[in-house]
Amino acid sequence: MFPQSQYFDPNLGMMAGITPMNPMMPGLSMVPAPLSQDIPVIKEIIHCKSCTLFPPNPNLPPPATRERPPGCKTVFVGGLPENATEQLIMEVFGQCGDITAIRKSKKNFCHIRFAEEFTVDKALFLSGYRIRLGSSTDKKDTGRLHVDFAQARDDLYEWECRQRMLAREERHRRKMEEDRLRPPSPPPIVHYSEHECSQLGDKIKDDGKFAEAVRVLLTWLERGEVNRRNANNFYSMIQSSNSHIRRLMSEKSQHEKEMEEAKEKFKTALAGILAQFEQIVSVFQAASKQKAWDHFSKAQRKNLDMWRKQAEEIRNMHNEQLMGIRREEEMEMSDDDMEDAPDSKDSEDSGVSQAEALKEENDSLRCQLDAYRNEVELLKQEQGKNQPIRSEEDSTHSQQLSFLQQALQGMQKQLLKMREELKQREAELEKSLEDKQQLKNQVQNLKEGLQNLQNTHVMQVRIISTFLHVHPFGASIEYICSYLQRLDTKINPSEVEALLSRLPCTFRQELTGVGASLEKRWNFCGFQGIKST
């Protein structure tokens, strides 16, 4: 047995998945943990009952070991004395843990299989020790132990079984987690019946239950539960569904109206903000004049200049945003005018609506025709089963049959006529679609030309405004055109004069001079309305 004064490796039981070694195990004691990981564990002499184990030289490198096989419980022990017995091996390695089998060779080695995996690490601690039986120094009674991992089929089989069991548990756990997180299935939809049909017809007419009722109706149609007997019921339910289109269109128009009101409110608020910005900018401009500017200090002038630049930048940004909104509205209005001019769209929409109306009427006539045929067949069956008992009933049945046959012939003629009209409408619709595509191309070209013209006019107005702003006494139309022609040589004075005449709130024409020196000058008056307010 190991004496209490000897030390064993304290880190053998500290590996992941290995339980720590019991310090109260007889013959073993735990050494205190080293101060740092760099300090090696000191191995001492181990005295057993019939042998003594001497530690290896601490300066030598640790003995080499092979890669640990998965689930290893078996070790190879070499360097045993020739006179070693299984009792001696059990005495030395039995302190590491329970031994299940010892396979000793005739040579100086053996294989030891332990009951637990962590005991293998304890056995490897003894690798490198010199063993001596009793006090004899004979070669047959001494040896140097070499302990290493051994590959055993039993260990691998047990490890694979344990891995398969863990995989099964993991799959079961994942399945339970997926079942827990899976959303609940929707409730099943009942099959068609007269009672369910009557209830569904009431639900379709209810705005709150319409979506659910339509889903049930769609499922019934996809299942193929429509037949000649219940076709009228399905037709009435489909007709009720169609009546909800008017409600949806009214809701859409209401939302569009709210959106237009919100846009108008935003535009009004933006215009008010822009007016206040203009007033603030005019305050800074008034403060920048010489009679007020000289009374401010240098620091105050610097702050005023910085504030003026910031206010002008924000004012220009909001002004561009407002101008963009107005341009969009003008483009929308121009589009509406251009679309109102040709009646192709109205004629096309009317043709489409008429074609759809003809198709619906055609379907309804087919349904009525099938209903009449069903009634005729039922009457014939009743006449075949029930022999004529009373002459009055026979006469009424024959009259009904003749009426139904006449109605059937009329419906067939009407159906053929509707089919011919439908073909004509489809041909007209195709022609109107071609005309519509041509008109669309023309409208697109006009839009592009109008957009380019508007952009050119806006740019010219900005340049002229800047030019006249630095000429407070005005400039002649030739002087303005000479400045603009440096940017675009295609500009002529007549176009510029017409553009200035269309903006009386921004540009004003004045006459200066007398007699032969009379001259027309254009001035910039865009800020006068703001200053007057």
Instruction: Please give the share of the chain, as a percent, with pLDDT higher than 70.
Output: 81
Rounded Cα–Cα distance for residues 376 and 384 (Å): 12
Cα separation, 31 vs 39, whole angstroms: 13
Total length of the chain: 533
Q: Across residues 61-67, what is the average pLDDT?
A: 86
Confidence class of residue 171 from pLDDT cuts 50, 70 and 90?
A: very high
Per residue in 430-448, pLDDT (tens digit) is 888 888 888 988 888 888 8
Distances (CA, A) of 124 to 66, 77, 80, 146: 12, 9, 15, 8
Name 318's Cβ contacts closer than 8 Å, sequence gap at least 6: 270, 273, 274, 277
Report the distance separating Cα 302 and Cα 286, nearest Å. 16
Please answer whether residues 267 and 323 qualify as being in contact, where contact means their C-beta atoms are separated by less than 8 angstroms: no
One DSSP character per residue, 442-470 reads HHHHHHHHHHHHHHHHHHHHHHHHHHHHT
pLDDT of 10 reads 38
What local confidence, expressed as pLDDT, does residue 324 receive? Answer: 79
Q: Answer yes or no: is pLDDT of 316 > 70.
A: yes
What dihedral do alpha carbons 307, 311, 312, 318 form, nearest 10°? Answer: 160
Whether residue 69 has pLDDT greater than 50:
yes
**What does the alpha-carbon distance between residue 111 and residue 103 come to, in Å, rounded to a whole number?**
5
The pLDDT of residue 296 is 85
Listed range (99-103, 243-247, 376-380) with the worst mean pLDDT = 376-380
Reply yes or no on whether the pLDDT at 416 is more than 70.
yes
Predicted confidence at residue 37, as pLDDT, reads 45
- Residue 162 has a pLDDT of 94
Find all residues with CB under 8 Å of 407, minimum gap 6, and list them: 372
CA distances in angstroms from 481 to 42, 233, 486, listed in the order given: 103, 78, 9
Instruction: Please identify which residue in the block is written with the tokens 């601690």.
Output: 125
Output 347 or 2, whichever has higher pLDDT: 347
Q: State pLDDT tens for residues 456-493.
A: 778 877 888 888 777 777 888 788 888 887 777 777 78
Q: Report which of residues 521 and 513 the model is more confident about.
A: 521
Task: Report how far residue 308's alpha carbon sits from residue 301's, in angstroms, rounded to the nearest whole number.
Answer: 10
pLDDT value, residue 19 = 39
Tell whether the model's pLDDT for residue 99 goes beyond 80: yes
Residue 162 tokens read as 């344990």
**Residue owning tokens 């490796």:** 9
Report residue 364 as tokens.
């309804």
pLDDT in tens, 340-395: 554 545 555 566 666 677 777 777 777 667 766 766 776 676 666 555 445 555 67
What does the mean pLDDT of the chain come to? 79
Tokens of 190: 């009942």
pLDDT of residue 5 exceeding 60: no
pLDDT of res. 508: 80
Long-range contacts of the stretch 472-478 (C-beta < 8 A, 24+): 472/523, 473/521, 473/523, 474/510, 474/512, 474/521, 474/522, 474/523, 475/521, 475/522, 476/519, 476/520, 476/521, 476/522, 477/520, 477/522
Q: Residue 120 in contact with residue 73, Cβ under 8 Å?
A: yes
Smallest CA-to-CA distance from 223 within 186, 191, 199 is with: 191
> Per-residue pLDDT averaged across 274-282, rounded?
86
Mean pLDDT, residues 322-336 taken together:
71
Query: 78 - beta bridge partners?
Result: 109, 146
Task: Cite the beta strand spans of 340-465 per DSSP E.
Answer: none
pLDDT at residue 34, as a whole number: 38
Q: What is the 3-state secondary structure (H, E, C) of 114-140?
A: ECCCHHHHHHHCCCCCEEEECCCCCHH
Report the alpha-carbon distance of residue 223 to residue 216 in Å, rounded. Answer: 11
Whether pLDDT at 82 is above 90: no
* Owner of token pair 């396979």: 103
216 contacts 204 by C-beta, under 8 angstroms: no
Confidence at residue 22, expressed as pLDDT on a 0 to 100 scale: 40
- pLDDT over 90 at 108, yes or no: no
Asked if the model's pLDDT at residue 272 lies above 80, the reply is yes
What confidence score (pLDDT) does residue 17 get? 40
Give the pair of three-digit tokens for residue 121: 């690490």
The 10 Å CB-count burial string (b at 16+, else e) for 104-128 is: beeebbbebbbeebbbbbbbbbbbb
Q: What is the pLDDT of residues 181-226, one digit of tens each?
A: 888 877 888 888 889 889 888 888 888 888 888 889 999 989 888 8
Q: What is the pLDDT of residue 346?
A: 55
State mean pLDDT over 295-317: 86
pLDDT band at 164 (very low <50, low <70, confident <90, very high): very high
Closest CA to 75 of 120, 12, 109: 120
Q: What is the pLDDT of residue 103?
A: 92
Closest CA to 113 of 129, 98, 127, 133: 98
The mean pLDDT value for 162-186 works out to 91
Residue 23: per-residue pLDDT:
37
Q: Which amino acid is at 80?
A: L
Q: What is the mean pLDDT of residues 24-44?
A: 48
Confidence of residue 258 (pLDDT cuts 50, 70, 90): very high
pLDDT beyond 80 at 322: no
